[in-house]
Amino acid sequence: MFNHLKTSVIATIVLAILCCGIYPAIVWGLSQALFHHKANGSLIAKDGSPTDDDANAVGSTLLGQPFSDARYFQPRPSAAGNGYDPTASGGSNLGPTSAKLFNGTTQPSTQPSEPPTVAYDGIKLRTLLYTQANGIDIADASQPLKSFMDEKGNYDQVKLITAFNDPDHPLTFRTTKPIPPDAVTASSSGLDPHISIENAELQAQRVADARKMPVDKVKELIAANTDGPDLGVIGDPGVNVLKLNVALDNQK
């Protein structure tokens, strides 16, 4: 019995040294030597150059982050916490037949004098906001969309979601251009740093107008910041939003 116990203790110590010490050290050393930039988070600085200094980094090219200004390309929606929270990675877990996913939901206010708020925006609302932001026309709608706007032309999102969920006469509409799925749906991680080329091209005119740049120059930057499929064959090309926005800021 003592011999078995001795063997077990020695095996545990040896395996602990190998698996918890030597192996991680080898992997860390190889990654630092061969893939230093990637192993340290693929961070980039304001000028677009790789950096390992967190203080000078504007973000990681591996993780999406929110952009809302019209001068920037906007990423796909995120279900990760309060927008691209890396500590809350995940999707919405809503299936393709979910009414909530398409129509959105509202939440009653806890104060009687305050109106309801948006609990979940949904694909239809995201589509309308995307078309409005990028100058895409609505071909037709079952109800006048202007009736859902305020005097400044902004959509009342609560009224829209309520109309989408109307069991008798739900609000429907059709856009003049196909909207790429990634423009109105979140990735499974909620942290995808890429958008499709189609999505980027639909945003190009808005960005060009906001920056007073030729749209052809913006499209050149889209092409320059498009990553190809993994290993050349896996997946589709994707435009890295952070790299593209940094490249825009560095235009003279």
59 bridge partner residues: 44
Q: Over the stretch 165-215, which tens digit does the pLDDT of each residue have?
A: 999 999 999 999 999 999 999 998 989 999 999 999 999 999 999 999 999
Q: What is the mean pLDDT of residues 60-82?
A: 90
Contacts of 240 (CB under 8 A, 6+ apart): 61, 193, 194, 225, 226, 227
- What's the confidence (pLDDT) of residue 195? 97
Residue 159 pLDDT greater than 90, yes or no: yes
Q: Over the stretch 129-155, which tens digit does the pLDDT of each residue have?
A: 999 999 999 999 999 999 999 999 999
Residue 232 pLDDT greater than 80, yes or no: no
Domain boundaries, the chain: 2-34, 40-88+191-249, 99-181
Which CA distances in Å does 12 have to 8, 19, 20? 6, 10, 11
Place of tokens 């395996």: 15
Cα 185–Cα 186–Cα 188 angle in degrees, nearest 5: 130
* Residue-wise burial string across 84-93, b where 16 or more C-beta atoms lie within 10 A, e elsewhere: beeeebbebe
- What's the confidence (pLDDT) of residue 213? 95
CA 117 to chain CA mean position, Å: 23
Place of tokens 């560095």: 250
What value does the mean pLDDT of the chain take?
91
Confidence of residue 32 (pLDDT cuts 50, 70, 90): confident
What letter does residue 237 receive in the DSSP assignment?
Answer: -
Which is it for strands 57-60 and 173-175: parallel, antiparallel or unpaired? unpaired
Q: What is the mean pLDDT of residues 156-173?
A: 96
**Model pTM?**
0.85
d(CA 143, CA 132): 17
What letter does residue 142 receive in the DSSP assignment?
Answer: S
d(CA 63, CA 38): 12
Place of tokens 């969309």: 145
Which CA distances in Å does 87 have to 63, 80, 130, 250? 12, 8, 27, 30
- Amino acid identity for residue 164 in this structure: F
**Nearest CA-CA partner of 187 in 62, 63, 61, 79:** 79
